[in-house]
Amino acid sequence: MDDFTMQKTKPYSGSTSTVTPLLTRPKGIKSLSPPKAFDSFRSGPDHAFAPALGENGRQYNAKAAAWNTANTPLVRRLKGRHLQMIAIGGSIGTGLFIGSGAALATGGPASLLISFIVIGSILFCTVQALGEMAVTFPVAGSFSAFATRFIDPAWGFAIGWNYAMQWAITMPLEVMAASITLEYWNLPIPSWASITVFLLFIISINLFSVRIYGEAEYVFSIMKVTAVIGFIILGVVINCGGTQDSGYIGGQYWANPGAFHNGFKGFCNILVTAAFSFSGTELVGLAAAETQNPSKALPTAIKQVFWRIALFYVVSIAIVGLLVPYDNPDLINSNNISAKASPFIIAIQSAGISGLDSVMNAVVMIAVLSVANSSMYGATRTLQALAEQGQAPRILAYVDRKGRPLVAIGSSAAFGLLAYLYTSSVQGPAFTWLLAISGLSSIFTWTSICWAHIQFRKAWLLQGNQLSDLVYQSPIGSIGSWVGFIALIAILVAQFWVAISPVGSTATTPGAQASNFFAAYLAMPVVLLFYVCYKVWYRTRWVTVKDVDLMTGRNEFETAGERRQWKEDKAEWPRWKVVYKTLC
């Protein structure tokens, strides 16, 4: 099968008279003849665009929006190994290496470990649901497009902008964190200079082709994975008394000062921290539109990525909880993102191992830069897909001849300038409120994925399809999506409780209480505002199961002879291979 089948522009089955011949030269971009050195920045040829909004601007055409995302001008150059490392690269970062310190101080080692196991289990349900939909419809925008198609265009608009804002704001936050890691070595480098270098580095990677982005993320992720594995081995040695300055530790910190801190509220408080640490795993679905062979690469990436991340997170968090007591004075609090207070670095320093703390700090810096890189990718691809669906200014849909969404990249790069707030007098409040905007975004995204999958499964069966017709079938089906959906709603309720009455809060005035609430729950009113405004303006309706579009952008591998041959080959596999392929 031609790997680029989905890339070919197909006739729009709606009103053909409304198809614009060249989406990639929208209003505001003139057609010029640039020098050959800049020829690759010109718009890709022969890409049609079906306007998703009516002439009066108040009627939404969901069928045209679906057609645009299915026939995106993004190019398919990512391989399976890129997909696996992109998901890992977007996850192993500040949340694990630095944020786990604040979580440990808030809830204790047992709450921290349980929260990561709970979120990891929810993520398993979510990623399986996303994998099934993304393989069936490897379209631009992924979960935001699925929300528009399977739930409600207004919800797709809200969740898409929520996700784009999450990553657009996370990028400067990660650049700030990378700059702060340099302070560990007391280098005579001004903050503005390091921020500038890091921003230029991240923007440059994203200005290359998506293949270069994939290779960069592949290298970053291998370094982080190697470091985490090395820390796990070292942590076991330290815990067993294998270093010069530390005796046998065992589980003494679970007994004194204790396994739990701040009770059930402490546990609820760090659930969002755990969710933030896992955020980015869903990027594997967003990259489906740029994958060479989604039928083969996506299922493997979906299965392998979860097991790898679950192993790295759960085991490394368990080790950290054994090596660092939650009352360690160096652990970070909510207003401090210093790498000096990373529990990973504290564990190494407490063992009296010289030099390794600097190595770990370098790993932290690489990790946050990797997340910043993934953040820019997530923001640009979501903005480009929103524009293709008529839910963002059309100019953001511009894609050049190398498949780069240049205008979306420029817009995301502009958000990166927020990193310079670190050099201002308002760095503390700025960091708090930027983090508040993106704090719950991943939970909203995962909730939307689970609900979209439930709708998709209902429509799939109602419209006469068999589950065996799916290229990739989630092993836990819609039951897993229901479990994930209900669990995520419960987390939102728990977070509402701790937002009203946060752990350790001494605020007594209404103003201080309101500030604490919005610092923890700002993402909720933002999403609801986006949804209600779009719903009122465009008068969209919830998509009924019988009206769900299951044809536009569907993976053609389902009807190809290769699909039949693949089934025949699978029937001849030995049992060990069947088990391995199911899990990995």
pLDDT of residue 45: 54
Q: Is a pLDDT exceeding 80 seen at residue 86?
A: no
296 within a domain of the structure (yes/no): yes
Q: Which amino acid is at 1?
A: M
Residues 529 and 560 in one domain: no
Q: Is a pLDDT exceeding 60 seen at residue 558?
A: no
Residues 117 and 88 in one domain: yes
Tell me the mean pLDDT in the region 323-344: 74
Domain that holds residue 274: 5-540
Residues 371 and 458 in one domain: yes
272 within a domain of the structure (yes/no): yes
Compute the distance between CA of residue 453 and CA of residue 444 in angstroms, rounded to an integer: 14
Question: Alpha helix locations (H) across 439-522?
Answer: 441-462, 477-500, 510-521
322 within a domain of the structure (yes/no): yes
232 within a domain of the structure (yes/no): yes
Range in 38-52, 145-159, 379-393 the model is least confident about: 38-52
pLDDT of residue 156: 93
DSSP assigned state of 90: T
User: Higher pLDDT residue, 299 or 58?
Assistant: 299
Closest C-alpha to 71, from 12, 113, 129, 134: 12
Mean pLDDT of the chain: 81
pLDDT of residue 1: 37
Residues 431 and 576 in one domain: no
Q: What is the pLDDT of residues 122-177, one digit of tens each?
A: 988 999 999 999 999 998 888 889 999 999 999 999 999 999 998 999 899 889 88
Residues 364 and 420 in one domain: yes
Mean pLDDT comparison of 9-23, 187-201, 291-305, highest-scoring range: 187-201
Q: Is a pLDDT exceeding 80 seen at residue 510?
A: no
For 44, the token pair is 């890709």
Residues 133 and 84 in one domain: yes
546 within a domain of the structure (yes/no): no
pLDDT of residue 563: 57
- The total number of structural domains in the chain stands at 2
Other C-beta atoms closer than 10 Å to the C-beta of 114 total 19
Contacts of 236 (CB under 8 A, 6+ apart): 319
Compute the distance between CA of residue 281 and CA of residue 221 in angstroms, rounded to an integer: 13
Q: Is this structure's pTM higher than 0.85?
A: yes
Instruction: Report the half-sphere exposure of 7 (CA within 13 A, side-chain side).
Output: 19
Q: How confident is the model at residue 332 (pLDDT cuts 50, 70, 90)?
A: low
For 555, the token pair is 């993976």
Q: How confident is the model at residue 564 (pLDDT cuts 50, 70, 90)?
A: low
Residues 128 and 167 in one domain: yes
147 within a domain of the structure (yes/no): yes
Range in 131-135, 217-221, 446-450 the model is least confident about: 217-221
Q: What is the pLDDT of residues 479-509, one digit of tens each?
A: 999 999 999 999 999 888 888 877 766 655 6
Residues 535 and 561 in one domain: no
CATH code, domain with 102: 1.20.1740.10
The owner of tokens 């030995």 is 574
Compute the distance between CA of residue 290 and CA of residue 405 in angstroms, rounded to an integer: 12
User: Higher pLDDT residue, 204 or 561?
Assistant: 204
123 within a domain of the structure (yes/no): yes
Q: Do residues 89 and 370 lie in contact, with contact meaning Cβ atoms separated by under 8 Å?
A: yes
370 within a domain of the structure (yes/no): yes
Q: Is a pLDDT exceeding 50 seen at residue 22?
A: no
| 241-258 per-residue burial string, b: 16 or more CB within 10 A, e: under 16 | eebeebeebeeebbeeee
Residues 63 and 92 in one domain: yes
Contacts of 404 (CB under 8 A, 6+ apart): 207, 209, 210
Residues 145 and 267 in one domain: yes
Closest C-alpha to 89, from 196, 213, 270, 204: 213
Residues 116 and 237 in one domain: yes
Q: Burial level of 404, CB count in 10 A (0-12/13-18/19+)?
A: buried
Residues 460 and 514 in one domain: yes
